[in-house]
Amino acid sequence: MTATESPPIPSPSRPGPVIRMESVHKTFGSGDLAVHALRGADLAIDPGQFVVVLGPSGSGKTTLINLIGGIEPATSGRIVVHEVDVTALEERGLTDYRRAQVGFVFQFFNLIPTLTARENVSLVGELVGADGAAAARTLEQVGLGDKADRFPSSLSGGEQQRVAIARALVKRPTVLLLDEPTGSLDLETGRQVLGVLHSAARSFGSTVLLVTHNSAIARMADRVVHLHSGRVVEDRLQPVPLDASELQW
């Protein structure tokens, strides 16, 4: 090979952000009654990051993840997740997007009370064509392998939230969105749930966006974003996150 035939320089494999928000506005209502929940929010999240979004009540946290998750439409601006322009999708495309790319976890678990833990998880697994053993495997991953046949009413709050995390992860979502996931748990249970969440999300390769008003949780994040009055006012990397077991609040 001569000098003029040098091999192409491999382009460094730097994947772009998995979540990109550009100048996103969300207004509820109109005229005098308009509420501006988001006022030009910008964000770019790299794949695999564990991101905590902090903000006081009313700052737009729930709105932010509902828009990223395709549950509600933006008023203006652009949201791109995994190369899909969510803000350009029609209803059908949104349904596919939510099903294939997004896992949601809420403060109050929202499990189906008449189904066992395994059935709650497999119901979602089936939607995305996961194999029959995926539910049991995912429950094992959140430490509930031995409680798969329990109904939600015979599980503790922390266990129910771990089922909800398994239900969100069984589809191996690109993004896992959590809205105050420890808001109704005591400190020790909250730490356990966050520890399980962290390792399970990592093993599934999901990018995590957790929104909360509890600033203590931010110490376990790779990245901390502050939201205020519908805008991102601070966004910093945290080079040495704490282990969930070390959190105090």
CB of 74 to Mg ion, least distance (A): 17
Beta bridge pairs of residue 38: 26
Closer by beta carbon to ligand ADP, 48 or else 58 = 58
CB of 130 to Mg ion, least distance (A): 29
Q: Which residue has the tokens 């509890």?
A: 214
DSSP 47-97: TT-EEEEE--TTSSHHHHHHHHTTSS--SEEEEEETTEEGGG--HHHHHHH
Site track for Mg ion across 54-83, x = CB under 5 A: -------xx---------------------
CB of 61 to ligand ADP, least distance (A): 3
Closer by beta carbon to ligand ADP, 63 or else 182 = 63
Give the chain's count of helices (H) and strands (E).
6, 10
Q: Which residue has the tokens 């945290």?
A: 238
Picked from ligand ADP, Mg ion, none, the partner binding residue 4 (CB below 5 to 8 A depending on kind) is none
Pairing of strands 231-237, 50-54: unpaired
Closer by beta carbon to ligand ADP, 35 or else 44 = 35
CB of 57 to Mg ion, least distance (A): 7
Write out the residues near ligand ADP by the rule CB under 6 A: 28-29, 35, 37, 55, 57-63
Taking phi first (over 0 means left), then psi (-120 to 50 degrees means alpha), and beta for anything else, what does residue 46 get? beta
CB of 100 to ligand ADP, least distance (A): 25
Exposed, middle or buried: residue 235 (CB in 10 Å: 0-12, 13-18, 19+)? middle
Q: Applying CB under 5 A, which part among 53-61, 73-81, 169-177, 238-246 lies near Mg ion?
A: 53-61
Query: Which positions lie near Mg ion, rule CB under 5 A?
Result: 61-62
